[in-house]
Structure 1
Amino acid sequence: MDPHLLRTYVTVARLASFSEAARELGYTQSAVSQQIAALEQDLGAPLLTRRPVAPTQAGERLLEHAGPLLLRLDAARADVARMATAPEHGLTLVSAPTALGPYVLAALPPTGVTLRVLARDEIPAAVATGAAEVGLVDGLAAPSDPLRLPDVAPLSTYGVGEEPVCALLPATHPLARRARLRLGDLADARWLDAPDTGLPLAQLRAANGGRGFRPSLRYDGTDVRTLTALAAAGQGLTLLPRSAATGVPGAVAVPVTEPRLVHRTELVYAGSLSGAAARLAEAVSRS
């Protein structure tokens, strides 16, 4: 299967238009049509209906494979390019919002760093494809347990920090006076669904035997202050690392102590670390 044709197919399916895909890719519309026809001939199945333009059943199945396949190709290209890359240059770091704990911020070099805050699930792909030299991912885990990352490419990780987790509640919430909480105490509360900022509800549900944690409001941003303001305003609860949950006006951070869970942060990289990336990794591991 020609990856060039596969990229064209993914673009046509995403835009639901041959002409829009041609415009985005810089081809003529007839060239796009020829490429789709060539891919359909190669696979022996129609992939798109023409009016309207939409994936067939076979086309839908191909789309499921296309993303990981193309990402792997981009990652392979970036991996080979890294081996031929010259020496020292600035450092691009991608991070989940709540992975930027105090120990990480203190370890950042004073100059030469470009920091990009991304949705949690985008970080491994950004590192794998060379968009960044290193990434910081985080999540809920048992103490000392590694995080589970998507299999986008051969990536290396190591833990750089763990801290307790706290439920952030409005100061008027009935549980706000508790010294500590069990996760099960919160299963039936109203929750903020903020997968890219707070700890994902799916992880809380899994830790509670698959039960509870229904969302009341969804927040699709990556700004921690917006999330904490929503919690303080009574729009729903959220679970955060202690450093992010403490000191929020109008809210109380109550430690969750059962089951034993921590907020874990890991450094993720491809190949071997060198230059500014190696120095950052060393500084973070010392902090």
Structure 2
Amino acid sequence: MDPHLLRTYVTVARLASFSDAARELGYTQSAVSQQIAALEQDLGAPLLTRRPVAPTAAGDRLLEHAGPLLLRLDAARADVVRMAAAPEHGLTLATAATALAPRVLAALPPSGVTLRVLPRDEVPAAVATGTADLGLVDGLAAPSDPLRLPDVAPLTTYGVGEEPVRVLLPDTHPLAHRTGLRLGDLADARWLDAPDAGLPLAQLRAANGGQGFRRAMRYEGTDVRTLTALAAAGHGLTLLPCSAATEVPGTVAVPVVEPRVVHRTELVYAGAPGGAAAVAEALVGRL
């Protein structure tokens, strides 16, 4: 399968238009049509209906494969380019918002760093494709267990920290004065769904056997302060690492005592030792 044709197909499917895809890709509309026809002939199946432009069942299945395939190709290109590149004069660090604990920030080099806060799931891909030199990923895990990262490319990982987690809830909540909470007791509570500012509800469900933790409100930003303000206003509970669960007026941060889970942070990079990798090792050493 020609990846060039696959990229054209993904663009047409995303935009639902041959003409819009042609403008975005810099082709003529007839060239785009020819490329789609060539891919359909190669696979022996129609991939798009024409009026309206929409994926067929086979086209939907191809889209499921296309994202990981194209990302892997971009990662391979970035890895080879990285090996041949000139020595670095700066460093780009992609990170999830909740991975930036104070001790991590204190360990960063004093100069030459560009910090890029991204949605948690996009950090490994940014490192794999070379748009970031290093990444900080985080999540909920059992003590000493590694995080499960998407298989976007060969990535080297270092565990750089684990800390307790706390439930942030309004100080008027019936459970606000407990000394500890079990996640299972909160499965039916109203929760804030903030996948990139707090710990994702999917990870709470996984720790609770896949049940509970319904969404009361969704917050799609990365600002932890906004998330804590929403919790203080009574819009729902949220789970945060201890260092981020700074109590603001009207809230209480209560430790989770069961199950035994921690907030784990890992540093990831791609490529051979040297350059960014050397900085990664120095950063891990300081942590």
**Common fold by TM > 0.5:** yes
Corresponding residue number in structure 2 for 1:14 = 14
Corresponding residue number in structure 2 for 1:252 = 252
Corresponding residue number in structure 2 for 1:218 = 218
Between the aligned partners of 2:75 and 2:68, the Cα distance in structure 1 is: 10
Give the structure-2-normalised TM-score: 0.97
Give 3-state SS (helix, strand or coil) of 1:271's partner.
Answer: coil
Give 3-state SS (helix, strand or coil) of 1:229's partner.
Answer: helix
Corresponding residue number in structure 2 for 1:243 = 243
**CA gap 1:143/1:285 in 2 versus in 1, 3 angstroms:** farther
Corresponding residue number in structure 1 for 2:85 = 85
Q: CA deviation at 1:275?
A: 3.3
Q: Compare 65-74 and 82-91 and name the one that shifted more.
A: 82-91
Between the aligned partners of 2:163 and 2:223, the Cα distance in structure 1 is: 20
Corresponding residue number in structure 1 for 2:137 = 137
Corresponding residue number in structure 2 for 1:64 = 64
Q: CA deviation at 1:281?
A: 3.7
Between the aligned partners of 2:147 and 2:187, the Cα distance in structure 1 is: 23
Opposite residue 239 of structure 2, the aligned amino acid is: L
Q: CA deviation at 1:85?
A: 1.1
> Which ranges of structure 2 fall in alignment gaps of 5 or more residues?
none
Kept in 2, the 8 Å contact 1:91–1:277? The answer is: no
Opposite residue 283 of structure 2, the aligned amino acid is: A
- Give per-residue Cα distances to partners, 1:79-125, cap 9 Å, x unaligned: 11111011132000000000000111001112111111000000111
Q: Give me the identity figure in percent.
A: 84
Opposite residue 224 of structure 2, the aligned amino acid is: V
Give 3-state SS (helix, strand or coil) of 1:243's partner.
Answer: coil
Corresponding residue number in structure 1 for 2:75 = 75
Between the aligned partners of 2:210 and 2:87, the Cα distance in structure 1 is: 48
Greater than 4 Å deviation, 4+ residue runs: none
Between the aligned partners of 1:99 and 1:150, the Cα distance in structure 2 is: 17
Q: How does 1:1-287 map to 2 (within 5 A)?
A: 1-275=1-275, 277-287=277-287
**CA gap 1:228/1:67 in 2 versus in 1, 3 angstroms:** same
Kept in 1, the 8 Å contact 2:133–2:276? The answer is: no
- Give per-residue Cα distances to partners, 1:107-165, cap 9 Å, x unaligned: 11121111110000001110000010100000000111100001111111010000000
Between the aligned partners of 1:185 and 1:284, the Cα distance in structure 2 is: 36
Between the aligned partners of 2:148 and 2:268, the Cα distance in structure 1 is: 12
Between the aligned partners of 1:91 and 1:246, the Cα distance in structure 2 is: 30
The count of residues paired between Structure 1 and Structure 2 equals 287
Between the aligned partners of 2:89 and 2:76, the Cα distance in structure 1 is: 21
Kept in 2, the 8 Å contact 1:187–1:213? The answer is: yes
**CA gap 1:127/1:30 in 2 versus in 1, 3 angstroms:** same
Kept in 2, the 8 Å contact 1:93–1:132? The answer is: yes
Give the structure-1-normalised TM-score: 0.97
**CA gap 1:135/1:174 in 2 versus in 1, 3 angstroms:** same
Query: Cα RMSD over matched residues?
Result: 1.1
Q: CA deviation at 1:266?
A: 0.1
Between the aligned partners of 1:190 and 1:224, the Cα distance in structure 2 is: 18
Q: CA deviation at 1:40?
A: 0.9
Between the aligned partners of 1:265 and 1:285, the Cα distance in structure 2 is: 15
Opposite residue 172 of structure 1, the aligned amino acid is: T
Between the aligned partners of 2:284 and 2:103, the Cα distance in structure 1 is: 7
Kept in 1, the 8 Å contact 2:98–2:196? The answer is: no
Q: Compare 245-254 and 115-124 and name the one that shifted more.
A: 245-254
> Which ranges of structure 1 fall in alignment gaps of 5 or more residues?
none
Between the aligned partners of 1:142 and 1:61, the Cα distance in structure 2 is: 34
- Give per-residue Cα distances to partners, 1:153-205, cap 9 Å, x unaligned: 11110100000000000111111111111111211110001112211111111
Q: CA deviation at 1:277?
A: 4.8
Give 3-state SS (helix, strand or coil) of 1:140's partner.
Answer: strand
Give 3-state SS (helix, strand or coil) of 1:63's partner.
Answer: helix
Opposite residue 82 of structure 1, the aligned amino acid is: R
